[in-house]
């Protein structure tokens, strides 16, 4: 049986209502695909706590987590990912791509122009409705 991992992602909006998109680096699994920044939920952590911690680690900024946007279970060849994506707002700092190849602010209408990691696609579709 495949491992199932629980992960969180942040739909971070700026004041122009653009969404922060993160390009996975060539060293990551699913290289060169776009995703919402976030990461694994550690044992005994609430999803919202994980998201705050992961964004601090990955992007070097602080966020306030709002409502759940989408929950997705996606089966990859090696693992099953349960992704919880939340609306979030930066409260302190400016996002810096320390683990990702790059970060881009995109209009909601432009999200479909990017090549997304499969688990993130349902969230993209929901945001575009």
Confidence of residue 8 (pLDDT cuts 50, 70, 90): very high
Cβ pair 65, 88 in contact under 8 A: yes
Reported pTM:
0.94
What phi, psi does 100 have (nearest 5°)? Answer: -85, 160
Bin 102: left if φ > 0, else alpha if -120 < ψ < 50, else beta: beta
pLDDT for 29: 87
CATH 1.20.1250.20 is right for the domain spanning 3-128: no
β-strands 19-23, 62-75 pairing: unpaired
Please compute Rg for the chain using Cα positions: 14
Confidence check: pLDDT of 1 > 80: no
For residue range 67-122, list pLDDT tens digits in order.
999 999 999 998 999 999 999 999 999 999 999 999 999 999 999 999 999 999 99
Q: How buried is residue 129: exposed, middle or buried, by Cβ count under 10 Å (0-12/13-18/19+)?
A: exposed
Write down the mean pLDDT value for the chain.
96
Cβ pair 41, 8 in contact under 8 A: yes
- Rounded CA separation 96/114 (Å): 20
């Amino acid at each position: 049986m495949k491992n199932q991992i629980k992960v969180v992602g942040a739909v971070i909006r700026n004041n122009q209502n653009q969404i922060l998109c993160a390009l996975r680096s060539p060293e990551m699994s699913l290289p060169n695909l776009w995703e919402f920044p976030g990461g694994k939920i550690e044992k005994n952590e609430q999803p919202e706590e994980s998201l705050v911690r992961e964004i601090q680690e990955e992007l070097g900024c602080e966020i306030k987590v709002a409502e759940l946007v989408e929950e997705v279970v996606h089966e990859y060849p090696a693992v099953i990912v349960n992704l919880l994506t939340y609306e979030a707002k930066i409260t302190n700092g400016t996002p810096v791509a320390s683990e990702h190849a790059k970060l881009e602010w995109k209009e909601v209408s432009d999200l479909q122009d990017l090549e997304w990691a499969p688990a993130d696609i349902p969230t993209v579709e929901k945001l575009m409705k």
